[in-house]
Amino acid sequence: MKLAQDRIGPMNSQYVVGIFETEEDIVGATEETRGTGYGIYDTYAPYAVHGLPEAMGLKPSKLTWACLVFALAGFSVAVLGQFWINGIDWAVNVGGRPFNSLPAYLPVMFECIVLAGGVGVTITMLARNGLYPGKRERLIHPDVTNHRFALALERRDASFDLNEITAIWSRYHVAEIMELPEAVS
């Protein structure tokens, strides 16, 4: 483990970041750090790590509700559009079927539900995370996009003890501890 204070900046930094090598280490360190009362700012990983959101104490995502809203909007557009087109605007009697033939509308309704839900939740996720075309990346550590995991803590008050954090993280094979003056998001 190396403490990277020299290349990062002075000791009055606001954030402390631990770099870990395996997903088991990051999950264990996150659970224990949160259990001792330190507030976790964020974790960074090259892929989704099973159990990490629970270890951080995150609430379930609200994207499922956004997906439901967009899917219902797609369903409404499909039903109302087909009833309008087939029953009012372009009423053509084909084979003696009624103008409000719901079984004939099912494939289009299903496709509109999937399309609106998928596109809507993707746009919501990109907007919520601040990901837009042309945004420059700000990496907390160059290896986080490849094979390392990072745990960031915010130093909020004078009770923050770097020695205690170092002791906790060393049990989980921390590779590097950095102090940063500002958040990386």
pLDDT at 11: 45
Where in the sequence of the chain do the CATH 3.30.70 domains occur? 2-60+140-180
Alpha-carbon 48 to chain mean position: 9
- CB count within 10 Å of CB 100 equals 12
Q: Tell me the residue length of the chain.
A: 185
2-60+140-180, what's its fold?
Answer: Alpha-Beta Plaits (3.30.70)
**Region 88-107 average pLDDT:** 80
Grouping H, G, I as helix, E, B as strand and the rest as coil, residue 149 is strand
pLDDT at 4 over 60: no
C-alpha pair distances (Å), 102 with each of 70, 93, 106, 117, 123: 21, 15, 7, 21, 30
Is the full-model pTM beyond 0.75? no
According to DSSP, residue 61 is labeled: P
pLDDT at 123: 95
pLDDT digits over 17-36, tens only?
A: 999 999 999 999 999 999 99
End-to-end CA distance of the chain: 24
Report pLDDT for 13.
56
